[in-house]
Amino acid sequence: MHATARKGARGNTMLNGWAGTSATQIAEAAFIASVLETKQLRADISGKELQVPGFDEALLSLAEKLPGKLHDELTFTAISIGKLQKKLSRLLYDKTYEKLLRQADERGQARLREISQQYAGAWLSVTPIKALNLVMEPRDYRVCLRTWLGLPVHEINPAYPPACPACKKALLDKWGDHSVVCAKHCDRISKHDSVRDIIKCYLSYGALSSRIVQRETPGLIVGKKDKPADIFVSNWHGGKSMAFDITIVSPMQKKLRARAAKAAGVAAEEGEISKIAKCEDKCRKAGFDFTPLAFSTYGGYGEEAKSVLKYIICMAADRLGLTRSAVATRIRQKISLAIMKHNANMILTRGYACTA
């Protein structure tokens, strides 16, 4: 594995890695937190304050790695002991992330920002359960990891890129950026529909009366075949009717990549803006509200999708008698896994796959 990819792999799943965290990376933080957290216990047992060998050295070493930050965290310990290791580890992960960002080229920066989006890494913490459709084939998993870590997925000569075997129009690139958005063979629609179906399913769990909108008549708007939404909910929050349209946007497309390298969440935000421009007026005129549910091809959420999903999770959890966090984890894992699995499939069916 390339050294930069290896460093990226060592990040927390909440940030940008795949939880292959090196023990040595957070050993000092763990040691310091353990010593501080057991200080009172040691004093109670021995009747005096004991010095722990190596503590001062570890503190100095960590202070060098986190200049200017360690003092605040140790002061914070006085009021919130128990969370110190997590906070120190997070500072170390953030430092690694910032370093990777500085070293990356434009595409690498866009990738790092996208994979660090909230909920994007949910597929990494899935417990593979076949009955719940939470399983990824090993070859798909390998492709997803390569995508995540910025490793090539198509084994091609960049100087002579072949045409995409599906659409025969675009050229393949080694990162799979075209493959995951290629409109041929219905697999892009299939990716979109799989996310739509997961959301529809959880709407039903929450007793929110919904239907999937088809292009055929009667459609969504009376007398028109126009389809400005994917799901129509007749009893949405506040007694309103609501139309949702789902979109999955790649941050690697030409018009977005430079922006995506500089700011987080650009792809999903762009998806929301373009759907609102296209659909909101039509829906309002037809007498119901409209909300775009936008996702990035790496699984990040638009702000509207975050807030809509939170409401659906609350409704579903209450009706199912489950905790909100259990329902939230499951739906977020399902969405993330669906997007990543379809990406992998689109890459593999277009050939030239890197198999290592």
Contact footprint for Zn ion (CB under 5 A): 164, 166-167, 170, 182
Task: Kindly state the smallest distance separating residue 167's Cβ from Zn ion, in Å.
Answer: 3
Pick 134 or 354: Cβ nearer Zn ion = 354
Residue with tokens 């219905």: 186
Task: Kindly state the smallest distance separating residue 187's Cβ from Zn ion, in Å.
Answer: 10
Residue with tokens 């399913």: 201
Of residues 306, 4, 267, the one with CA closest to residue 149: 4
Alpha carbons 4 and 61: distance in angstroms, whole number: 23
- 48 CB neighbour count, 10 Å cutoff: 7
Pick 177 or 304: Cβ nearer Zn ion = 177
Pick 113 or 350: Cβ nearer Zn ion = 350
Task: Kindly state the smallest distance separating residue 168's Cβ from Zn ion, in Å.
Answer: 7
Pick 173 or 272: Cβ nearer Zn ion = 173
Task: Kindly state the smallest distance separating residue 340's Cβ from Zn ion, in Å.
Answer: 19
Pick 185 or 306: Cβ nearer Zn ion = 185
Q: What angle do CA 318, 243, 184 make, to 5 degrees?
A: 110
Task: Write down how long the chain is.
Answer: 356
Task: Kindly state the smallest distance separating residue 251's Cβ from Zn ion, in Å.
Answer: 18
Token couple for 260? 């995506």
Pick 160 or 356: Cβ nearer Zn ion = 160
Distances (CA, A) of 89 to 4, 26, 31, 86, 93: 20, 6, 11, 5, 6
Distances (CA, A) of 331 to 178, 272, 284: 27, 20, 29
DSSP assignment string, 49-110:
PPPPTTHHHHHHHHHHHSTTTHHHHHHHHTT-TTSHHHHHHHHHHHHHHHHHHHHS-HHHHH
